[in-house]
C-alpha cells in the first residue's frame, strides 16, 4: 500500500534523481523541483533525466515537476533538499512561502559556504526550523547503483524517531535498506568530510600510490573524521558504523565517486580549474575543503589529511610534494 504523505525533492542532479527514483516505489506522486525547464520538458516526454543518470526511468504521470520552488514547498509535507551545497543558499533565498510545519530532510553532502554551517544547522539558525523537524539522508549509497537497482543502504537521521521512520518507509524497497540514527549533526559532518578524504584518495591514485597506501590513508581518514566530528558535536556514536566508515569507503574507492575522480585529475597534473571544467557534475569536496579547514582552525583540530588537500586545492601547492610530507604523518 502506497503512502499518502506528500513529498517533494529539490535538485536536478544525480542524487536528487536517485531519491526521486526511490520515492516512486512508494508514492503515487512525487514532487520534483529543478531549475532547468528543458530537463522538465524532457522528463515529461521521455521519462528520464537527460543530464544525470539517464538510465533511471520514470513514469511522468507519477511526477509533479516544476521550476517554481514555492509551488513545491506549498505542495509537500516532507521536503528533501539535494541541491549542491555551493548553490543551496541561492535556491533557499527564492523561498517566499512559509516553511512552518514542514519536515525537512537534507541529502546534501557539504557545508553552506556563505554561513559555514552544515545544511541542518543552516535551516535551524537562518530559516527558524525546529531541530525536531530536521533530518538527514546519507549513505553509503551511490546514485548510479540505485538507478541500476543494486542493493544499497541508507542512514536516516533525525532527533524525532517517528519522522525518521516515516522517511525510511518512503525510501525503502526491495533494493534499498534503511537504518535509523539520532546523530543528525554528526552524520552531516561525516557526509561532508568523506568527500574531502575521497579527493585525497583520488590525488594519491593520480600520483601513482598503490592499494597499500590507500588502505593507510583510509584508516587515518576515519580517525581524523572521528576527532573532527567529536569536536563539532559530542555524543555517543560508533564511527565504524555504515553512515561514517561505510560512506567514507564507498566514496573513497568507488569508480562512481565524483570526488575521487576530481582528486585523481589533480594528482595527474590538472589544475583545479581545468579539473572542474572537465567534470559534468559538482565535486562537493572541493567546496567542503575550504569550509572544513576554517572550522578545524577555529577548533584547533589535528587534521593532516584535510590540511594537505586544502594546501593543494586552495594554496596551489604541488600535490607530489604535499603527499610526500603527508606520508610521514600517517601511521
d(CA 241, CA 220): 16
Contact 30, 6 (CB under 8 A): no
d(CA 253, CA 211): 10
- Between helix 284-299 and helix 184-207 the angle, nearest 10°, is 110
Grid coordinates standing for 255? 569508480
Read out DSSP for 186-212? HHHHHHHHHHHHHHHHHHHHHHT--HH
Closest CA to 48 of 57, 39, 40: 57
d(CA 323, CA 327): 6
Contact 196, 263 (CB under 8 A): no
d(CA 309, CA 288): 11
- Helix, strand or coil, per DSSP, at residue 275: helix
Q: Is the peptide bond preceding residue 140 cis, with omega within 30 degrees of 0?
A: yes
Read out DSSP for 27-38? BS-EEEE-S-HH
Contact 148, 53 (CB under 8 A): no
Active site (annotated) includes residue 194: yes
d(CA 198, CA 214): 10
* Marked catalytic residue, from 21, 194, 226, 296: 194
Residues serving a catalytic function are 194
Amino acid at each position: 500500500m502506497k503512502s499518502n504523505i506528500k513529498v517533494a525533492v529539490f535538485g536536478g542532479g544525480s542524487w536528487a534523481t536517485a531519491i526521486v527514483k526511490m520515492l516512486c516505489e512508494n508514492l503515487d506522486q512525487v514532487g520534483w523541483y529543478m531549475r532547468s525547464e528543458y530537463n522538465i520538458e524532457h522528463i515529461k516526454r521521455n521519462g528520464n533525466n537527460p543530464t544525470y543518470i539517464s538510465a533511471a526511468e520514470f513514469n511522468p504521470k507519477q511526477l509533479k515537476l516544476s521550476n517554481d520552488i514555492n509551488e513545491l514547498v506549498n505542495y509537500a509535507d516532507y521536503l528533501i533538499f539535494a541541491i549542491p551545497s555551493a548553490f543551496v543558499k541561492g535556491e533557499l533565498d527564492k523561498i517566499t512561502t512559509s516553511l512552518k510545519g514542514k519536515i525537512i530532510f537534507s541529502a546534501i553532502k557539504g557545508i553552506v559556504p556563505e554561513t559555514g554551517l552544515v545544511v541542518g544547522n543552516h535551516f535551524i539558525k537562518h530559516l527558524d526550523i525546529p531541530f525536531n523537524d530536521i533530518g538527514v539522508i546519507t549513505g553509503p549509497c551511490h546514485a548510479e547503483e540505485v538507478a541500476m537497482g543494486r542493493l544499497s543502504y541508507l542512514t536516516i537521521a533525525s532527533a524525532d524517531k517517528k519522522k525518521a521512520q516515516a522517511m525510511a518507509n518512503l525510501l525503502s524497497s526491495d533494493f534499498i535498506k534503511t537504518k535509523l540514527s539520532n546523530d543528525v549533526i554528526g552524520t552531516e559532518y561525516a557526509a561532508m568530510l568523506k568527500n574531502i578524504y575521497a579527493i585525497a584518495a583520488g590525488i594519491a591514485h593520480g600520483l601513482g600510490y598503490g592499494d597499500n597506501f590507500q588502505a593507510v590513508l583510509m584508516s587515518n581518514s576515519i580517525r581524523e573524521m572521528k576527532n573532527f566530528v567529536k569536536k563539532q558535536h559530542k555524543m555517543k556514536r560508533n564511527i565504524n558504523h555504515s553512515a561514517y566508515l561505510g560512506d567514507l569507503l564507498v566514496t573513497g574507492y568507488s569508480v562512481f565517486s565524483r570526488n575521487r575522480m576530481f582528486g585523481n585529475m589533480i594528482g595527474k597534473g590538472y589544475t583545479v580549474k581545468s579539473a572542474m571544467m572537465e567534470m559534468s557534475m559538482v565535486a562537493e569536496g572541493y567546496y567542503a575543503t575550504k569550509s572544513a579547514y576554517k572550522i578545524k582552525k577555529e577548533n584547533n583540530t589535528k587534521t593532516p589529511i584535510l590540511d594537505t588537500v586544502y594546501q593543494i586545492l586552495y594554496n596551489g601547492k604541488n600535490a607530489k610534494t604535499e603527499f610526500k610530507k603527508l606520508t610521514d604523518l600517517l601511521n
